[in-house]
Each structure stands twice: as structure tokens, then as C-alpha cells.
């Protein structure tokens, strides 16, 4: 069932989103060559706890997962697309890092992800990251009352097609509110004018993930969580929690 939020509920969700945005901002600042990925997880845990919020990923077990998720953030490096579990790995020069973070505050969820390079970036990684950022902006711009779900997916996949990037199927965005994952699913591809009609009060996590290789095919790692590209190419992921209002889309995961 698709839940519609009131303006007051959207304001409460903005506070949850702000906590996630602050955690990601601190992680981007702290991440550097030689930093261990599990330090970034601890940093997020601290910021979320100090805000009186709760990590949304820790202990979460969606249908596709074999075990409850064991960390606060997902850290997906280079050929890992999403759902990388933080470990003792030390970031290396030129690594393409995607960090996804979610939290509950006062019973409301926020979910957001950023991608960046540590150390000296390669031009093609910068272009890939900019493409998922542009796709996120395009998907958000399509979130207008009267538009349809397919308009969001089409806006996202058009950016991938233009850059020759792959779009992993099956994974995408989602409704969000009292639960991190609510209806509807938000595919990263779609046909304009098709699907659910968008209306004021709908809150969606929009999350384009692109692979540098054009086919977007992936494999699940032995831990049952991390998704890796089959061709070994790198991947980028950008995500915001966004509300549809009468005044247009409003990003809730902003500081």
C-alpha cells in the first residue's frame, strides 16, 4: 500500500533525513587514503546515536538477504555496486567509494547515498559519479503531481543511456516513511506516462546506480549482500529521500 504523508509528517521526515545527511557529510570529510572503512561505519553510528536516532540498516533483513545486515552504513567500493559490508579494508588512492546510510528519528526513516573518489580521481570515475548525480537530479525533477512512476525511471535511465552506462535491474528506489522500504518500488528505468500517478504527500527514496560497463549485470558476493559487476567495471550510487509537495519535490536528506 502506498502511504501518503501530511505536511507535518514530511517535516518530521526532514529531521530524520537531516541526521543521515550529517552522517554522510562527516564520512565524506573523514574518508581519505589509508582510512579503514569500518572507521566510517563507527563515525556514522556515533553521529546517529548523538542525534537520538537509530541506524536503519543494522539488523535489517530484506527478502533477498541471507542474514540481518551487520552494519550502520553500506560501503561499496570500485566494482561493488551497492550493499557492501564495511570491513577493515583501508581506502586506496583512486578508490571509487559509495556510502549509503539510513536512520530512524521519532519513528521516521531517512535514506541517502553518496559516491566519491579518495585521493587522485580518474576522469572516467568522475564522469560516472557525475552521471548518477545527474540522474538523481533528473529523477527528482520528474517527481511532480500528475506525473507517473515511469517518468522517474525514464528520466534516470535516459542519463545512463546518454553516457553508455549500465543500469542493474531489480534494484532501485522505494517508498519510505515509518519504514525504510515501503511501496512503491521505484525502478531506475521506465516508460514515460506509465505506472502509478504521483501525488502530493508521496515520499520516495530515489537511487540511481550505474555501472561503467554497459550491461549492468551483477553477481551477489559470498556474504550474500554485496552486488559486484560481472565485468569488473566500477559503479556509482546516488540517493536522496524526496517528498512530493504542491510546491514541487523537496529533498529531505539535506543538512
How many CB atoms lie under 10 A from the CB of residue 62?
11
Shortest distance, position 193 Cβ to ligand MF3, whole Å: 26
- Using CB under 6 A as the criterion, which residues of the chain lie in contact with ligand MF3 when the complex forms? 57, 60, 62, 69, 74, 83, 100, 102, 111, 113, 174, 205, 207, 239
| Residue the block writes with cell 552504513 | 73
Shortest distance, position 12 Cβ to ligand MF3, whole Å: 20
Question: Can you tell me the distance from the alpha carbon of 205 to that of 118, in angstroms, rounded to the nearest whole number?
Answer: 26
Q: Strands of the chain (E only): list them.
A: 54-55, 73-77, 80-82, 96-105, 108-117, 173-175, 182-186, 203-206, 209-211, 218-220, 227-229, 235-237, 240-245, 248-251
Choice between 44 and 127, CB closer to Co ion: 44
Choice between 24 and 124, CB closer to ligand MF3: 24
Shortest distance, position 129 Cβ to ligand MF3, whole Å: 17
Q: Give the strands of the sheet with 173-175, arranged side by side.
A: 182-186, 173-175, 203-206, 240-245, 248-251
> Is 176 in contact with 205 (CB distance < 8 Å)?
yes
Among 205, 226, 244, 250, binds Co ion (CB under 5 A): 205
Shortest distance, position 99 Cβ to ligand MF3, whole Å: 11
The answer to the question of residue 209 lying near Co ion (CB under 5 A) is no
Shortest distance, position 222 Cβ to Co ion, whole Å: 23
Choice between 131 and 205, CB closer to Co ion: 205
The answer to the question of residue 111 lying near Co ion (CB under 5 A) is yes
Question: Can you tell me the distance from the alpha carbon of 110 to that of 178, in angstroms, rounded to the nearest whole number?
Answer: 10
| Residue the block writes with cell 559490508 | 85
Binding site for Co ion (CB under 5 A): 111, 205
Amino acid at each position: 500500500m502506498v502511504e501518503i504523508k501530511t505536511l507535518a509528517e514530511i517535516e518530521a521526515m526532514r529531521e530524520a533525513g537531516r541526521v543521515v545527511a550529517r552522517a554522510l557529510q562527516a564520512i565524506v570529510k573523514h574518508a581519505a587514503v589509508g582510512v579503514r572503512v569500518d572507521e566510517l561505519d563507527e563515525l556514522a553510528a556515533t553521529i546517529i546515536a548523538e542525534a537520538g536516532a537509530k541506524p536503519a540498516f543494522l539488523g535489517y533483513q530484506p527478502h533477498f538477504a541471507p542474514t540481518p545486515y551487520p552494519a550502520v552504513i553500506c560501503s561499496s567500493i570500485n566494482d561493488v555496486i551497492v550493499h557492501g559490508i564495511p570491513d577493515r579494508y583501508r581506502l586506496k588512492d583512486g578508490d571509487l567509494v559509495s556510502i549509503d546510510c539510513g536512520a530512524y528519528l521519532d519513528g521516521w526513516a531517512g535514506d541517502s547515498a553518496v559516491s566519491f573518489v579518495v585521493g587522485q580521481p580518474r576522469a572516467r570515475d568522475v564522469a560516472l559519479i557525475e552521471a548518477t548525480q545527474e540522474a538523481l537530479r533528473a529523477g527528482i525533477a520528474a517527481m511532480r503531481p500528475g506525473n507517473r512512476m515511469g517518468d522517474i525511471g525514464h528520466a534516470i535511465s535516459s542519463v545512463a543511456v546518454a553516457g553508455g552506462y549500465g543500469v542493474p535491474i531489480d534494484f532501485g528506489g522505494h517508498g519510505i516513511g515509518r519504514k525504510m522500504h515501503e511501496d512503491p518500488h521505484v525502478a531506475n528505468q521506465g516508460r514515460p506516462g506509465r505506472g502509478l500517478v504521483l501525488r502530493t504527500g508521496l515520499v520516495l527514496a530515489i537511487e540511481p546506480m550505474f555501472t561503467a560497463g554497459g550491461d549492468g549485470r551483477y553477481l551477489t558476493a559470498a556474504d550474500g549482500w554485496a552486488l559486484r559487476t560481472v565485468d569488473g567495471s566500477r559503479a556509482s550510487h546516488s540517493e536522496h529521500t524526496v517528498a512530493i509537495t504542491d510546491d514541487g519535490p523537496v529533498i529531505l536528506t539535506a543538512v
